[in-house]
Amino acid sequence: MSAIKGITGALRITTLSLLLASPVLHSAEMDLAGLPRPVDAKVDSTRGPIEQDRTYPLGSVRKISNQVRMDGQIESRGQVTSVTYELAPEQTASDAFTQARKALQDAGGYILYWCQSKDCGENSLWANDLFANSRLSGGDEQQSFVLLRKAEPEHNTLVALYSITRGNRKAYLHAEQFVADTPLGDLLPNAATVLRELRSTGELDYPDLDGEPSAQWVTLLSRSLNLDSSLRVTVSGKQAEAWRQALEAAGVRRGRLETGSVDIPGLHFALIR
């Protein structure tokens, strides 16, 4: 059964060292969760699939009183499969991460949590506690992480991406797919993640939000947009006008919202440059 817990709950991690005894995937050209292999990358390791309890962060990771804690998390049990790539010397970790993220979003994934550099917390916790993979050790400034949820009908599948550049300048991209045994329920990104995505990609796409405005999503999106009051967006989708009105009622200034196409599935925001 999944749950999202605040920072007051200590993170219970079943380390991926349990996967060491699992069968290694045989295909070096494996296509994990629709993720294309980075150009000229070498497969460093593959693990799973294996049944496992898994915890994914929805906020910065840190250690307090010898316990790993985070600002929100997802806990569930399911099938875990992962692959770690050593990137070609001419490809940066940042470029590989961006290409992988875009590929997953184009395939219908939407972002639950996205952090970069020191905003993610301590790299040693990611490498040793979250992924149990020493290859992922590096500087706090050289890391990126994103957790995506697939759209229906694969709504109970999560994909995590983590990239790092080590002190020896070797760059790695780690990808992990998690298929939950039980429904994950409602999972929302935090406001900072929504704003990061809008600023970085110029758009937000929520294919599952095709009905009347949801109160919790209206609250989240209004908070996200009001973190930067200079941004203006177009709101598209079958219920675009209803969403625009709801966001305005929640405190987003009218001049910042425009209604776009009603022919786009779900709910879509595009940044007005």
Residue with tokens 């994103």: 146
Say what the pLDDT of residue 17 is: 33
Answer whether CATH 3.30.1330.10 is correct for domain 191-271. Answer: no
Q: What is the full per-residue pLDDT of the chain (273 aa) written as tens digits?
A: 444 444 334 434 333 333 333 333 333 344 576 788 898 999 998 988 999 999 999 988 887 877 788 788 899 999 999 999 999 999 999 999 999 999 998 888 889 999 999 999 899 999 988 898 999 999 889 999 999 999 888 889 999 999 999 988 899 999 999 999 999 988 899 999 999 999 999 999 998 898 999 999 999 999 999 999 999 999 999 999 999 999 999 999 999 999 999 999 899 999 998
Please choose, from the candidates 188, 251, 201, 246, the residue with its C-alpha nearest in 3D space to the C-alpha of residue 223.
251
Instruction: Specify the amino acid at residue 55.
Output: T
Answer for the pair 220, 214: CB distance below 8 angstroms, yes or no: no
What is the C-alpha to C-alpha distance for residues 40 and 91, in angstroms, rounded to an integer?
A: 9
Domain ranges in the chain are: 3-180, 191-271
Say what the pLDDT of residue 33 is: 60
Answer for the pair 163, 144: CB distance below 8 angstroms, yes or no: yes
pTM: 0.82
Answer for the pair 83, 136: CB distance below 8 angstroms, yes or no: no
The terminus-to-terminus CA distance of the chain in angstroms comes to: 42
